[in-house]
Amino acid sequence: MKGQIRIAIGVVAVGILATGAWLWTTAGRESTDDAQVDAHVTPIAARVGGTVRQVAVVDNQLVEAGAVLVEIDPRDFEVALERAKAELADAEAAALAAGASVPITSTTVTSDVSTAQGGVGQAQASTEEAQRGIELARARLVTAQARVREAEANAVKAARDVERFKGLLAKDEISQQQFEAAVATGDASRAASDSAKSQVAEAELGIRVAESRLTQATIGEQQAQAGLRTAQTGPEQVTATRARAAAAQARVQQMRAMVRQAELNLEYTTLKAPVKGIVSRKSVEAGQVVQQGQPLMAVIALDRVWATANFKETQLDRMRPGQSAVITVDAYGGRAFKGKVESLAAATGARFSLLPADNATGNFVKVVQRVPVKIVLDNGQDPELLLRPGMSVTTTVYTK
């Protein structure tokens, strides 16, 4: 009986010691096997469409950053580049011509304004001269008409004298010489009247000629005024010419952008690895016609892997960034890799799920949530690049 008691006491003591040892060894650390390896997966997609001329890699091949992965037939893009360069040359020539026309237009406009102003002055002078000519012709007409009246009066008087002298001559009261003198005076009066009438006709003709000249001068002045108004639109013409020059320069910039885009498209026909890594999920073959944006493969950067450990929320009380950690990989017989906590996720994994739980319905069952914790490896821990994204690992974080 006493021996059984001693055995029971010994078992209890061993259990207590084992429990204490376990508590001592696990104090200050948190572990989880809900963890896996992660890495940057860089999708490689076609930025331009075309026929694949060459695929330079195979699945699971290690490539360096900048290594050629796929080549797309570049001939269509070379033609597009040459066309864009030709259009750029044409735009530059047009811009040069438009720029040269600005000072020419400005000088021409200034000259046209001066010429038009001079033409207006000459036309106004011609109009004034024609008006003075009309006034002079009218004055001559008035004078001629007065002379006609005077000549007609003298002719009437002379005719009466001849009639009177004719009776006196028959009575021998006057001499033949006096009669002949009266007849001569009558003839002279009639001739003077005819001359005065001719002067009236000449003065009337002069008025008509002067009026015609005035009409022509007025038309010329109106034309000169119209020419001046046209010439005065010169600043607007210069502005329009400058606007055309600016538009030509803008087209040059547009064509340069098109040339640059064509150059980029030609560069895009050669797909290169953006990072060092392993080629995976290759889905392209030579001769295949690919479209812009079509996924072709992925490059996984194995030199920068980390572990994502989904710790229970009850394990995060003392967990902080910078704490040391150990990652044990199942695939390599529990080989351990050292690292440290880099960051804790901003939300639980359930919050990022496709259909997050809605606890507002009333059917609520409290479930311990898990929070992703990012653990990065220390430098030089995986020189052989053994770790692969998705591998299961066990993560232990030392919180003390």
Structure confidence at residue 104 (pLDDT): 61
Kindly state which CATH superfamily the domain 82-247 is placed in.
Answer: Helix Hairpins (1.10.287.620)
The two three-digit tokens of residue 243, written as one number? 């606007």
Burial of residue 173 (number of CB atoms within 10 Å: 0-12, 13-18, 19+) = exposed
For 202-239, the pLDDT digits (tens) are: 777 777 777 777 777 777 767 766 665 665 565 666 67
User: According to CATH, what is the number of the domain 28-73+275-398?
Assistant: 2.40.30.170
Task: Give the CA dihedral 62, 68, 72, 77, nearest 10 degrees.
Answer: 160
Average pLDDT, the chain: 81
Handedness of CA 49, 55, 60, 65 (dihedral sign): negative
Of residues 271 and 14, the one with the higher pLDDT is 271
For 52-81, the pLDDT digits (tens) are: 999 999 999 999 999 999 999 999 999 999
Of residues 205 and 282, the one with the higher pLDDT is 282
For 33-51, the pLDDT digits (tens) are: 999 999 999 999 999 999 9
Structure confidence at residue 244 (pLDDT): 80
Residue range 193-197: average pLDDT?
Answer: 69
Of residues 106 and 147, the one with the higher pLDDT is 147
For 156-173, the pLDDT digits (tens) are: 776 676 666 666 666 666
**Greatest CA separation found in the chain?**
220
Pairing of strands 324-329, 289-290: unpaired
Residue range 278-302: average pLDDT?
Answer: 94
Structure confidence at residue 234 (pLDDT): 56
At residue 306 the predicted structure's pLDDT band, cuts being 50, 70 and 90, is very high
**How big is the CA angle at 321 (ends 315 and 323), to the nearest 5 degrees?**
75
Structure confidence at residue 385 (pLDDT): 86
Q: CATH 2.40.30.170: which residues of the chain?
A: 28-73+275-398
**CA separation, residue 309 to residues 54, 201, 257, 315 (Å):** 41, 127, 48, 12
Of residues 281 and 358, the one with the higher pLDDT is 281
Structure confidence at residue 400 (pLDDT): 77
Q: CATH 1.10.287.620: which residues of the chain?
A: 82-247
* 381, 37 Cβ separation under 8 angstroms: no
3-state secondary structure of 70: strand
Q: Which residue has the tokens 């009850």?
A: 314
